[in-house]
Every structure is written in structure tokens, then in C-alpha cells.
Amino acid sequence: MQTNWRIGSLFGIPLFIDPSWFVILGLATLNFAVAYQKLGTIAAWSAGAVMALLLFASVVLHELGHSLVARSQGIKVNSITLFLFGGIAAIEEESKTPAKALQVAIAGPTVSIGLFFLLALIAKILPNTNPLHFMVGDLARINLVLALFNLIPGLPLDGGQVLKAAIWQITGDRFQAVHLAAKAGQILGYAAIVSGLAVDYLTGELVTSLWIALLGWFGVRNAISYERVTTLQQTLLKLKAKEVMTRNFRIVDANQTLRSFADLYLRDCTPLQVYFAESDGRYRGMVVIEDLCLVERSEWETKTVESIVRPLTEIPTVTESANLAEVINKLEDERLPYITVVSPAGAVAGVIDRGDIVQAVAQTLGLRMTDADIKRIKQQGSYPPGLQLQVIAKSTQN
């Protein structure tokens, strides 16, 4: 679903541009070109275009601030993307402590404030007969607005991240902190939509009011998505392997020959069937059909199932008390279709595949999921597009 253009990378972080960013670039060029008309038409438009590019650079530097601080905490930054409402740094996981989360949150505004002071100083030094005096001054103001706007205290804005870190510090509960900061974001977003409409009613400035309302709508949507992700993270930590696993596996006799195993079980070719071999009341290990295929057919009459099993100590397993985030991460890291759950006694307690996981999450959160949906997920071995649990699980590990 990547519709963004990659235009390069900074410090190893890929930089993307969403097509909607060009709306901003166009508006900025137009705005500055009009403001600089006294320079003459060509010079004004050139200066406008330069200012639009410097606006672009300002936003990138702001996001780079967040990104580099996150990276210094050992957190991976997947990309920086510029779009209609500014920039986003795709930071893979949460900081480990509220203080570190605060550092990431304020890093962007700190860069912008720093640029404001630097540019304001340069503008002061330049004589006001020099056109650069006004351009640098405008750029300084852009950076100030960038910092102050982002410090509005509601998610998804930086101020919301600051609020989250503060509540997290006070209550010790990160999830509650995100819920509250997201609520603040929603309230502020709705307030922006209402004031956008009020501006239109009072002043008739359609473009300004539309812009404020759009920003509000964007804020509300993102605040809701923060809440949703947090609820999912909480669910993945709450659900344990024991509650999600099924007994959808077969126990076969480890002492039988491979031929007998093939005759008994491989006729009703259910591709997703999981087999464990047992003898003398003990689990000997997992039977993997590919391993069977590696044995010469002529040896199937003499070799036993036990000779090809993978012992439980050598296959990836989780305990019954493992949380679902752990289960999902292990499935992804080892690229497994399913994982074995072992009991404290070392026996096979159950198995979990992606279908079981989605079913448990959907049940817990009251999401609609039909049997056909679950069956399809089991067969395809991947999560549905609207429920990318592998991404949520990764951001949950702490």
C-alpha cells in the first residue's frame, strides 16, 4: 500500500513524500510569492519556491529531532514521511520509561525552537534593505509556529506525547496515559472542527476555516487510532497462550513405521494438521511431513516415526502463561505457521496459529469475525489487513 515516493534517506532513515505534500508546497510557494511581489514577478516566485523548500527542510529537521533521539534509545525508526499536515516519523516502539518518552516528544519542538532563535538572530544581523532579511525572518516565524502548534497537548501532536509521558510518570500506567492523552486529542480535534466552522460563519474565510476543520478531523481520527492500538496492546498482554491454544493436533504412535504413519494419516490430506509422536506415555516430538519426504521411500518400511521426530526441546515453543504478544512475536521471528504450547511438565498442552489468535482477540474486543474469516486466516497464515497484529505485538514488547 506504499503510495509515497522515496526521495532519499537521512542518517539511514528513508525519507518519503506523500503526494498530498505537494498541496502544501504549492500553497506555500503561492503565499510567499504574493508576499514578495515588490521584488518583481520572477524574483518573487523564485523566492516563494525557495521558501517552500525551506519549509520542507524545517519539517524534516523537526522529525529528524524525534527520530535521532528515539534511535539513541535503541529504537528503530522506519521512515520519515511528509504529507498534507506536516511530517511523521514512524518510530517502531515506545520508549522504555516516561522520561525517555518525554525526550523523544520534545526533541522535535526543541529543534524547531532552536532554528527559530538561530534564524531570528541571522535576520537581525542582515540589514533590512536586504530581501534575505525578510525571508530569514519569515522562516524563523515558520519554525516558531511549527514548535508551538505541535505542543498543543493532545495526541497525535507532540504536546499529546508530553501529556502522555507526564501521566505515565505520575500513575505508572502507560496505557492509561495514552488513553487520556488520546481523549484530550479527540476533544481538541472536535473543538478545532467547531471553531473552523465558527470562523467561516463569523468571517467568511472559507479556506482558513476549512483548513482548521480539516486539521481537527485529522487529529480526531489519529487520536482514535492511538486508542485502538493501545487497547489492542493491552489485549495482547492480557491474553495468555493457555486461553488461546487449541487441541487441534493429533498424537501418533512413535514406534510405528513411516509407511504405517503415511498409510494411516496422509490419505486424508488435511494440510494444516499437526502431529506429535508419543511412546510409553511420553511425547517424543513433532512429526513434520517435509522430514518424512526426505527419507527414501525404500526405508519407510523399516524406519520408525521416532527416527524423524523433532524433539520438543529443539522446536520453538511457548509456555502456557506466555502472553499473546510473545506468541505473535515468536511466530513472526521464526516464520512459523503455528507454535507449540508446552505444559510445566514438558508435555504438549496445545497449538496456536494466526487464526486462533485473531479469533481470541476478536472475541475479547467484540470485533465481528466470521468462521469463514478465521478459516481463511488459518489457510493463508497471515493477519487480515485491518488487524496487523504482528505490528502491534512488536510495538508491545518491552
Which residue lies nearest Zn ion, judged by its C-beta?
A: 108
Give me 367's grid cell. 470485533
Q: Judged by CB under 5 A, does residue 161 bind Zn ion?
A: no
Q: Judged by CB under 5 A, does residue 158 bind Zn ion?
A: yes
- Restricting to residues 301-320, which ones interact with Zn ion according to CB under 5 A? none
Binding region for Zn ion (CB under 5 A) out of 67-75, 126-134, 144-152, 276-284? 144-152
Shortest Cβ 62–Zn ion spacing (Å): 5
Shortest Cβ 78–Zn ion spacing (Å): 16
Q: Is 264 helix (H, G, I), strand (E, B) or coil?
A: helix
Give me 135's grid cell. 525571508
Exposed/middle/buried for residue 152 (C-beta within 10 Å: 0-12, 13-18, 19+): middle
Question: What type of residue is 270?
Answer: T
DSSP assignment, residue 284? E
Binding region for Zn ion (CB under 5 A) out of 47-55, 154-162, 278-286, 384-392? 154-162
Q: Which CB, 158 or 356, lies closer to Zn ion? A: 158
> Would you give the end-to-end CA distance of the chain in angstroms?
28
Strand order in the sheet with 250-253: 250-253, 275-279, 282-287
Q: Is 5 helix (H, G, I), strand (E, B) or coil?
A: strand
Shortest Cβ 70–Zn ion spacing (Å): 11
Q: Judged by CB under 5 A, does residue 150 bind Zn ion?
A: yes
Q: Which CB, 59 or 139, lies closer to Zn ion? A: 59
Residue 63 annotated among the catalytic residues of the structure? yes
Q: Judged by CB under 5 A, does residue 196 bind Zn ion?
A: no
Q: What gap in Å lies between CA 318 and CA 330, rounded to an integer?
A: 8
- Which of 63, 94, 227, 278 is an active site residue? 63
Distance of CA 202 to the CA centre of its chain: 40
Q: Judged by CB under 5 A, does residue 353 bind Zn ion?
A: no
Shortest Cβ 254–Zn ion spacing (Å): 59
Shortest Cβ 165–Zn ion spacing (Å): 14
Q: Is the sign of the CA dihedral 62, 68, 74, 75 positive or negative?
A: positive
Q: What gap in Å lies between CA 234 and CA 251, rounded to an integer?
A: 34
Tally of residues, the chain: 398
Binding region for Zn ion (CB under 5 A) out of 22-30, 150-158, 255-263, 265-273? 150-158
Q: Which CB, 33 or 162, lies closer to Zn ion? A: 162
Exposed/middle/buried for residue 280 (C-beta within 10 Å: 0-12, 13-18, 19+): exposed
Q: Which CB, 157 or 341, lies closer to Zn ion? A: 157
Q: What is the pattern of x (binds Zn ion, CB under 5 A) and - over residues 4-43?
A: ----------------------------------------
350 has which bridge partners? 341
- Restricting to residues 89-108, which ones interact with Zn ion according to CB under 5 A? 108
Q: Which CB, 138 or 158, lies closer to Zn ion? A: 158
Q: How many CB atoms lie within 10 A of CB 204?
A: 9
Q: Which CB, 63 or 138, lies closer to Zn ion? A: 63
Site size toward Zn ion (CB under 5 A) is: 3
Q: Show the CA angle centred on residue 371, arms to residues 318 and 277, nearest 5°.
A: 40
- Restricting to residues 103-132, which ones interact with Zn ion according to CB under 5 A? 108
Give me 239's grid cell. 491474553
Q: Which CB, 149 or 190, lies closer to Zn ion? A: 149
Q: What gap in Å lies between CA 189 and CA 199, rounded to an integer?
A: 15
Shortest Cβ 104–Zn ion spacing (Å): 9
Binding site for Zn ion (CB under 5 A): 108, 150, 158
Catalytic residues: 63
